[in-house]
Structure 1
Amino acid sequence: MTKLTQLVGIIKDKASQTKAALLSQRTALSLLRATTHHFNAPPNPKHLHTLLSDADGSRATASAAIEVLMDRLTSTNNAAVALKCLIAVHYIFRHGTFILQDQLSVYPSTGGRNYLNLSNFRHVSDSVSWELSSWVRWFAQHMENLLCSSRILGFFIGNSPENREERVSGLTNGYLLSEFESLVRVMEGVCKMPDIGGLTKENKVVDEILRLGREDWVEVVSEVGVAVAEFRERIKGGGLKFGERVELVCCLKRVEECKEKVSVVVIEESLWDWVAELKDGIGKMYREEEEEEEEEEEEEGSNKLQKKEVRKIRFSESDRFSRSRILSSDDGLLQFPSGRFL
């Protein structure tokens, strides 16, 4: 990143902060201080905390704060500013009040504009900005996955209820599969993290995002583990239908595919063992069911053959009886006790 670009960024930051201070826009000022143009300095935790404090209050206050944040995120073409805005989004996601989190969660894909859809983000002024742009696209998608999964779960990932096992035990198979698939989607998203290296290898903003991604991975793996444990119990009790087992196996395969892609994040060996055990258990169940069906088909075929022989025997006996007993000349005609025949 050229010195001229850095200088222009510093001037923009000073001008914006001065304007916000003169207009007494506390939330905007806190946001501007947390999301400067400096490409190698992550947001100061003190500024992020101040941003939360200024946004805390009524629903209208929280809504206005989220709107200011999203406007800055979607209007900037600077990769450093966009990344810091996304870090602020993540900070609210993990540490914000319920009202603030609720206002944040309605932004992505709710029928209107998707504020976290930054798949086309490009900052091409220099090579560093170009590399940072890939992190912007990934982190925005990651945050959307987290928010969407949290809406399905009913709580924000990282702030799960204490009685998680009891909660999932009360879910229907359909709801549990839906939650599990959303968590797997988050795992797959983490695995798509850009390569660490090149010009951003020692970038402190990227290091901060990598740290957040690792923390999210740990939380998601924990939720996946709870779901897998519940599925194991339901499989043992025969509580899943054929179609539900098929859907579960597909999700388990997707989890296993993440195993080779998360070396830069965290590998939870016990998770892979649980997943493999559950897959093997379902496969064993399929084989047992197939064997039972084959035995039933063989038994049914044998019964049909026996019934056919019985019908054949009955017909032969009846035929012999009608010919040898009724019409045979040796035995004579049957005698009826009727006066007409006397």
Structure 2
Amino acid sequence: MGTFQTLRKAYGALKDSTKVGLAKVNSDYKELDIAIVKATSHVEYPPKERHVRKIFYATSAHQPRADVAYCIHTLSKRLSKTRNWIVAIKTLIVIHRILREGDPSFKEDLVTYSRRVRFLQITNFKDDSSPLAWDCSAWVRTYAQFLEERLECFRILKYDIDLEHLTKSSPNSTKARSKTGMLTSDELLEQLPALQQLLYRLICCQVRFLGKT
């Protein structure tokens, strides 16, 4: 098993270096392609900040929409093509971080894309190279479902509940409330199913490995 895992890591590193080499020669988006490959590499380590920042820049509001669309498509392709749980989880982390820390306009583009291409529906994803990889595959699928529900919640609510700030309902008010807290009863009843589904997906993201909690 140890020899197999060593060979698998070496093969993963070779694939990453090959993709980087091809991007340097053939890609019109060389810097972005290289950043995505390196941020979502086969190495068992979180995405490096310098690569994530390059992706942030590529998805910012001042960039051409065609460039942003290319970035989304490339991340989507990276997720759909891989059968390695490390690459998959790092791709989801990058997407999640852009949603939280990147330009707000990216959410709109990603919502539009996800309605057309259900790239976060990876119910068939599995990495059966080891018992750990098998268990991690289930968590990858759940994490993807959570991000998909997060986008759907943003589409319905028209704001990001994860990033909303407390505001005063009136200039003379002494108490600050969230935007959700200021909804009318009718608005809350309309949005409640999406909020409940998002909470459910979040709870399901509790990590369980090898039968342990």
Listed as ranges, the gaps of 5+ residues in structure 1 are: 202-263, 265-342
Whole-angstrom CA distance in 2 between matches of 1:169 and 1:183 = 13
Higher helix share: 1
**Kept after mapping to 1: 8 A contact 2:142/2:205:** yes
Percent sequence identity over matched residues? 27
- After TM superposition, the score normalised by the length of structure 2 is 0.83
Q: Partners in 2 of 1:145 and 1:122 — Cα distance?
A: 21
2:32 is matched with which residue?
A: 27
Unaligned runs of 5+ in 2: 169-176
Task: Kindly name which structure, 1 or 2, has the bigger radius of gyration based on alpha carbons.
Answer: 1
Residues 223-302 of structure 1: pairs in structure 2 closer than 5 A: none
> Is 2:129 aligned against 1:117?
no
In structure 1, C-alpha distance between the alignment counterparts of 2:70 and 2:149, rounded to whole Å: 23
CA distance in 1, matches of 2:104, 2:205: 29
Distance of 2:180 and 2:132 partners within structure 1: 45
| Whole-angstrom CA distance in 2 between matches of 1:7 and 1:133 | 21
User: 1:142 matched to which residue of 2?
Assistant: 146
Q: Quick one: distance in 1 between partners of 2:103 and 2:203?
A: 29
**Matches of residues 1-342 of structure 1 in structure 2 within 5 Å?**
2-23=5-26, 25-38=30-43, 40-56=44-60, 57-108=63-114, 110=115, 112-163=116-167, 165=177, 167-168=179-180, 171-198=183-210
Q: How many residues were matched structurally? A: 198
> Partner amino acid for 1:42?
P
Comparing 157-166 with 81-90, which one deviates more in the overlay?
157-166
CA contact (8 A) 1:77 1:123 kept: yes
Cα RMSD after superposing both structures: 2.4
Structure scoring higher RCO (CA < 8 A, sep ≥ 6) equals 2
- Measured in 1, the distance between the counterparts of 2:143 and 2:53 equals 21
AA partner of residue 187 (structure 2) = Y
Instruction: Provide Cα deviations, 1:131-152, integer angstroms capped at 9, x if missing partner.
Output: 2211110100010111111122
Deviations 1:104-127 (A, max 9, x none): 12233x2x3311101121111222
Where 2:97 maps in the other structure, the secondary structure is helix
Q: What CA distance in whole angstroms lies between the structure 2 residues aligned with 1:65 and 1:146?
A: 19
